[in-house]
Amino acid sequence: MNYPTFFDNTPSITLKDPLSDFLGTFEEGIIEFSYLDIVKSAGHSCPTVSGAYLSTVKALAALYSDGSTPIRGNIFVSFKADALEGVAGVIANVISQITGATEHSGFKGLNGNFARNNLMEFNAEIGSEVIFKRLDTGKTVEVTYDPSSVGGNPKMQELMGKLMQNVATPEEKKEFGKLWQNRVEAIFKNADKVITVKEV
Amino acid sequence: MIMNYPTFFKTRPTIKLKDPLQKFLGTFHDGIVEFSYLDVVKNAGHSCPDVTGAYLMTLKGLKALYKDEMPIRGNIRVSFNKEYTDEITSVMADVVSHITGATLTLGFRGVEGKFNRTNLINFNIPFEGDIKFERIDNGDAIITKYDLSSIPVDPKQDMLMSKVLNGEATQGEEIDFEVLWQRRVEKIFNHISELIEIKTI
């Protein structure tokens, strides 16, 4: 499995999962997710996937600014969009993989503990595209992701069109992939500019 | 803080697939993606007989459907005979979705009709068995059945579990429970071929 080297240089996310601890899965429930983990599952690395990843990194840092480790199962996520709308599902999958929060699927709990369903909602009336809430303290943050300041190479559109019409040469296919991932890398480098987190 | 877990998570067979979307977007060379049991356990938040069963049915099911070829993400339709809110079904569906890329509503919706990952998991489909895997390109289909009744639960396990859940377990009992629980999962991995049945349809 070969992939762009910048995947390994992006920040990872460490959480505690009480269910993992309970079932002897991870020592003290400590689980670490990397951008590579997310990309494997999503099936691709793109500005939407990296945006969802960075939104989660920043939102958890803000929610747990007391220095404690984020707890899977203790984070509720709301989306303004419908689950079927555009890339909402892609974003939701990324956030679900990291936080464990699901709408209907996932573990249903044991004696009232460890449930992972009913921790995600869509069509919420909120001020930003997505909000994260800590269930133990009620602390809530709005997250906005705007990658428009990180421009893509103008050649990308033209190459993408060629690829979709099956008229691209192998070199053009490779170049397109490279330019695409260059933009994703640039988004990571500008994480502080593209993500805004506001406590509400 | 370091992530520590039973060593068998990493020594079990992995699942390699090709993902045409990965290739298109320059993500993985030739689109080759490899999943380990560790990957699905992290996502599921735990290792248990259901997560293991879903992992092993996917491993065996894809092998049966693709023989020596590499399975293609986005070309695999998955069906379950229960509702997606069913306790075990939803845990298993998440594991299968993670590996095959197939989703019900979430996931990538495609570019100009290509690479769509939604509407690839069906629930409430009547059939005998646990998970049905179907290749979209040639229509080949198989049903996997998972039966772990031959792997006994240690008699102490249930007693320890309720003690832990009730907050009455000593630290030693907590550890005993964790070890017994994961030992059973490891045993399941050691008896894959006896526990997973595959029926071509």
pTM of this structure: 0.93
Task: Search chain B and give the residue with CA nearest A161.
Answer: B112
- What pLDDT is attached to residue A173? 93
* B25 vs A contacts (CB less than 8 Å): 44-46, 177, 180-181
The CATH architecture to which A12-148+191-199 belongs is: 2-Layer Sandwich (3.30)
Whether B175 maps to a domain, the answer reads no
**Alpha carbons B68 and B107: distance in angstroms, whole number:** 28
**Alpha carbons A94 and A56: distance in angstroms, whole number:** 9
- What pLDDT is attached to residue A62? 98
pLDDT at residue A158 tops 90: yes
Q: Do B21 and A14 touch (CB under 8 A)?
A: no
Whether B84 maps to a domain, the answer reads yes
Share of chain B above pLDDT 70, in %: 100
Whether B119 maps to a domain, the answer reads yes
- How buried is B199 (Cβ within 10 angstroms: 0-12 exposed, 13-18 middle, 19+ buried)? middle
Domain boundaries of chain A, sorted by first residue: 12-148+191-199
B93–A contact, CB cutoff 8 A: yes
Cα A21 from chain centroid (whole Å)? 24
pLDDT at residue A151 tops 90: no
Query: Per-residue pLDDT averaged across B3-21, rounded?
Result: 93
Q: Do A43 and B98 touch (CB under 8 A)?
A: no
Helix (H) or strand (E) holding B179: helix B171-190
> Per-residue pLDDT tens for B151-189?
999 999 999 999 999 999 999 999 999 999 999 999 999
- What pLDDT is attached to residue B35? 96
pLDDT at residue B106 tops 90: no
User: Please, which pLDDT band fits residue B115 given cuts at 50, 70 and 90?
Assistant: confident
- What pLDDT is attached to residue A56? 98
Task: Output the six-digit token pair for B117.
Answer: 């990952």
Instruction: State the first-to-last Cα distance of chain A, in angstroms, to the nearest integer.
Output: 42
Provide long-range contacts, Cβ within 8 A and 24+ apart, for A186-191: A186/A150, A187/A47, A187/A50, A187/A51, A187/A54, A187/A147, A187/A150, A188/A6, A188/A10, A188/A35, A188/A50, A188/A54, A190/A149, A190/A150, A191/A54, A191/A57, A191/A58
> Per-residue pLDDT tens for A164-184?
899 999 999 999 999 999 999
pLDDT at residue A113 tops 90: no
pLDDT, mean over chain A? 95
**Alpha carbons A7 and B197: distance in angstroms, whole number:** 38
Check if the beta carbon of residue B11 is closer than 8 Å to that of residue B190: no
User: Please, which pLDDT band fits residue A106 given cuts at 50, 70 and 90?
Assistant: confident
- What pLDDT is attached to residue B110? 85
Which among A2, A33, A44 is the nearest to B21, CB-wise?
Answer: A44
Helix (H) or strand (E) holding A141: strand A140-145
- Beta strand pairing call for B141-146 and B131-135: antiparallel
Whether B23 maps to a domain, the answer reads yes
> Per-residue pLDDT tens for B92-105?
999 999 999 999 88
Domain that holds residue B141: 14-148
**ipTM for the assembly:** 0.90
Whether B176 maps to a domain, the answer reads no
**Alpha carbons B169 and B175: distance in angstroms, whole number:** 10
> Per-residue pLDDT tens for A120-136?
999 999 999 999 999 99
Among B99-103, B111-115, B195-199, whose mean pLDDT is lowest? B111-115
pLDDT at residue B200 tops 90: yes
Check if the beta carbon of residue B201 is closer than 8 Å to that of residue B142: yes
Check if the beta carbon of residue A90 is closer than 8 Å to that of residue B108: yes
Which among A1, A22, A26 is the nearest to B28, CB-wise?
Answer: A1
- What pLDDT is attached to residue B198? 97
- What pLDDT is attached to residue B105? 84
Tracing tokens 């996310």 back to the chain, one arrives at: A13
Query: Per-residue pLDDT averaged across A185-196, rounded?
Result: 97
| Closest approach of A59 to chain B, Cα-based (Å) | 19
- How buried is A67 (Cβ within 10 angstroms: 0-12 exposed, 13-18 middle, 19+ buried)? exposed
Kindly write down the DSSP assignment for every residue of A40-99, as one continuous string.
Answer: HHHTS--HHHHHHHHHHHHHHHHHTTTSPPPBTTSEEEEESS-TTSTTHHHHHHHHHHHH
More confident residue, A1 or B146: B146
The backbone torsions φ and ψ at residue A78, rounded to the nearest 5 degrees and listed phi first, read: -120, 140
Question: Which CATH number characterizes residue B57's domain?
Answer: 3.30.1330
Helix (H) or strand (E) holding B121: strand B121-122
A-contacting residues in B 107-136 (Cβ below 8 Å): 107-109, 111-112, 114-115, 117-118
User: Please, which pLDDT band fits residue B107 given cuts at 50, 70 and 90?
Assistant: confident
Identify the residue among B2, B18, B27 best suited for mutation to test binding to A, counting A beta carbons within 10 A and taking the highest: B27
- What pLDDT is attached to residue A17? 96
Q: Do B24 and A117 touch (CB under 8 A)?
A: no
pLDDT, mean over chain B? 94
3-class DSSP assignment, residue B129: coil
Which among A25, A163, A181 is the nearest to B41, CB-wise?
Answer: A25
Whether B65 maps to a domain, the answer reads yes
Query: Per-residue pLDDT averaged across B86-114, rounded?
Result: 90
User: Please, which pLDDT band fits residue A194 given cuts at 50, 70 and 90?
Assistant: very high
Domain count, chain B: 1
pLDDT at residue B52 tops 90: yes
pLDDT at residue B38 tops 90: yes
- What pLDDT is attached to residue B121? 95
- What pLDDT is attached to residue B54? 97
pLDDT at residue B114 tops 90: no
In sequence order, which residues have a C-beta less than 8 Å from that of residue B47 and are 6 or more positions away? Answer: A20, A23, A24, A25, B5, B6, B9, B37, B41, B182, B185
